[in-house]
Each structure stands twice: as C-alpha cells, then as structure tokens.
Amino acid sequence: MQTVDSINFNDKRALIRVDFNVPFDKQFNITDDTRIRAALPTINKVLKDGGSVVLMSHLGRPLKKLKEDGSIDREKFTLKHIVKHLSNLLERDVIFADDCIDENSQTLSNNLKNGEVLLLENTRFHKGEEKGDEAFAAQLAHHGDVYINDAFGSAHRAHASTTIVAKHFTKENKCFGYLMAAEVANAQKVLNNATKPFTAILGGAKVSDKILIIENLLNLADNIIIGGGMAYTFIKALGFNVGNSLVEDDKIDLAIDILKRANDKGVKIVLPEDSIIADKFDNDANTQIVDNLNMKSGWMGLDIGHQSISIFEDVIKESKTILWNGPMGVFEMENFQNGTRAVAIAIAHATKEGAFSLVGGGDSVAAINKFHLADKVSYVSTGGGALLEFFEGKTLPGVTALL
C-alpha cells in the first residue's frame, strides 16, 4: 500500500479525492466538520513538501434531489459553502472552481502555484460521477500530476472520482491519503489479524442491513453480540413473544439458520435477555423492564435491560478484539440510551485493558461521540457503508484502484 509518505510532492500538483460531504444547518453553516478535519493531514503533507492541491468531493445527492422544475439545486449542494471554513483551517485562501471539469477549472488548476489550494465544485453535479463515466474521469484526471484518495467513506463506490480516475495515473503516481491508509489498516487488523477472543457487537434497526456482515463474521468472530431492534427478529425466531417490537418476519427463517450455523461453528451468539419496553415509540412513553419471555402485546422493546447489559459487559471484558456497529436501543431518546452507553463504556474499559476496539457505522459513531468516549476506543471509522462492505468480505473498488 503506497501512502502519501512515499511521495515527495515538491513542485507537484496533487489531485485529492476527499470526503467533504458534511452536514449544514438552514443557513449553510457546517454543523460537524469532522470529515474536513480528517483530510487536513494529507492536504498539509502535500503543501509542506512544496506542492499544490486540487480537492474534489461530492456533497449529498443533487441528482436524486432535483428542484421542482427538474433542475439541480446548486445553492443547496454547492461546495462553495465550505470554502471559508476550509481556508481558516488551512490558514490560506482556498480558490474555488464553480465546476469540476470545465475550461475555467482546468485553467485554475493549470495556473496553481506551489502552496495553493483549489477546491472543485461538487462532482455529483455531473451524471458521469456516479456512473463511473470514463470520459468524465479522464477530465478530472487532468487536474493532477498525482492522485490521492483520502475518501474512505466513498471507497465502496466505483464512481469516477473515487475509482475510475485512478486509471490515469501510474502506480508511482497514485496513493492512499493518511485517513484512507489508517482506515484500511485498522479494518484489516480486525478482519485478518484479530487477537482472540474476537467479539463483534451488532445493533441498529434491521437484520436485513446486516445479514452479509453477520454471515462473514461467523467465520471470524468468537462472539457476536446482537442488540438493538435487530435482536427481536432473533428473539422471535427462538419462539418468544416480542409484542410490537421491530421484527422482520421475512427474516425469521434466516435468523434460525444463522443461529444454527453459529452453533455448528462454535461461535457464540449473545442475545439480550431482558428489554426496556415502551407503550409507544416516544421518549415519554410508559416503560417497564421485562425479560424477553414476558414481552407484552402492544408494547415494544426500545432498549436492552440491566441483565442484558451485565451479560454483554462480561463478554466484552474478556475480549481482545472488538468490532462495534449499531446501537443497542433507540439511543437518540434519553430514556432508551442506557444500553448503548453501557456497551460504549464497556468497550472503553476493555480498550484500557489492552483490547483493540474498532467502532464504525454511522450510528455507533454518533453514539460514541454523544457519550464522549471516542478517544477511549482504539479507532473510530469514518466509513459507514464502506466499512460494512469491508466486513462483508467485499473488495472496495476505491482501494483496489490504488494498488
């Protein structure tokens, strides 16, 4: 794996695919700049070497969310909104090109001096981006002498700027940015090199989103803890009444099959034994703690109970490698966040005792940040879908394109 450290960028123009797909408020103020900050080390390495930088990114899904008249909502999806903030972070003025391939953008990048930074407009304003169009990718490639991919969050997509563009650069002239390299190294450490016992903790809403990852983990993990809404499909599969809890009835047979295969392989599937149930999906709902045999009709499980927390904590404590994806309950609501918080704390403790812990997937990252524990785990991944696909055992086109 060639990283930016293998290249001296002096006098070179680096075309860097970053992930600046950040959230905004209604006035277009950035509400979370984590993704921008995550790209700074790579950008600064090129500048420090004496090179110049051309940045490209997508922002949202402009072609899927067209205005009523069928045109692109440029005001909403422009990357121009981040120029000021990026300039502050890089302590220099960032030049903006209001298209990513037109003549003006090419002139701007051709005239770029060492130490200068150019940000190209949203690559998804062009149909060719998501289609992985060859001609569009070739035009993007004109912007750099070297191509760096630092957008792990988009590495599972064979889009023009994340994958196809790499064809236009020789092996020596393309590489992983620091963020991408760290993401791949940490994910590989868990996938290929896990110190045992290896525990995967899966939660969130749907079994269907996590089937492939569970199936792959059956070959890798010693324990698979399943919490959150997805646990109720398994609990129902075991024959219990789960009331109005989230259940995917069409996945019951699959849940039975997974439990059987886990048993055959000696993988321990750890399910919640009690739940906090509510009479409606609301923070102010009436609640009760019940074991999973006693779930009342009409009520729904929105968090794991104390007994489950204690069982999960014991498994986590004994683990040397931990992968966490998905919350244990509806942690966005104050009254149903306890299980997710307890699991986050248990992971932090195990990490302190020497375990390697990787947290990834949108909602578990949001949870670990909410509980201020992000610096107490070994690595927090920025790549939701990309990380999941990695653990499903798929090769990521954005990674392969750099090899």
Binding track over 6-45 against ligand AMP, x by CB under 6 A: ----------------------------------------
Q: Stretches 78-86, 181-189, 329-337, 390-398: which one binds ligand AMP (CB under 6 A)?
A: 329-337
The one-letter amino acid at 251: K
Does position 402 interact with ligand AMP (CB under 6 A)? The reply is: no
Least distance (Å) between residue 377 CB and ligand AMP:
17
Our answer to whether residue 385 is catalytic in this structure is yes
Does position 228 interact with ligand AMP (CB under 6 A)? The reply is: yes
Token pair in block for residue 287: 């609640």
- Binding positions for ligand AMP, 258-317, rule CB under 6 A: 301-302
Using the minimum distance from each CB to ligand AMP, give the nearer residue, 63 or 290.
290
Our answer to whether residue 35 is catalytic in this structure is yes
Please pick, among 243, 362, 384, 398, the residue that the annotation labels catalytic.
Answer: 362
- Calpha distance 76→167 (Å, rounded): 31
Dihedral angle, C-alpha 253, 254, 260, 265, nearest 10 °: 170
Q: How far apart are the first and last CA of the chain?
A: 7
Using the minimum distance from each CB to ligand AMP, give the nearer residue, 229 or 305.
229
Q: What is the DSSP string of 241-284?
A: --TTS---GGGHHHHHHHHHHHHHHTPEEE--SEEEEESSSSTT
Per DSSP, the three-state class of 65 is coil
Does position 326 interact with ligand AMP (CB under 6 A)? The reply is: yes
Using the minimum distance from each CB to ligand AMP, give the nearer residue, 164 or 214.
214
Does position 330 interact with ligand AMP (CB under 6 A)? The reply is: yes
- Calpha distance 216→198 (Å, rounded): 13
Please pick, among 35, 124, 236, 341, the residue that the annotation labels catalytic.
Answer: 35
Q: Which residue has the tokens 């909502």?
A: 73
Q: How big is the CA angle at 388 (ends 79 and 251), to the nearest 5 degrees? A: 125
Our answer to whether residue 362 is catalytic in this structure is yes
Our answer to whether residue 206 is catalytic in this structure is yes
Q: Would you say how long the chain is, in residues?
A: 403
Least distance (Å) between residue 269 CB and ligand AMP:
17
Does position 363 interact with ligand AMP (CB under 6 A)? The reply is: yes
Report the residue from 327, 360, 383, 397 that binds ligand AMP according to the rule CB under 6 A.
327
Which helix (H) or strand (E) segment holds residue 290: the answer is: strand 287-291
Instruction: Say which residues have a Cβ less than 8 Å from residue 107's Cβ, sequence separation at least 6.
Output: none
Residues that are catalytic: 35, 206, 362, 385
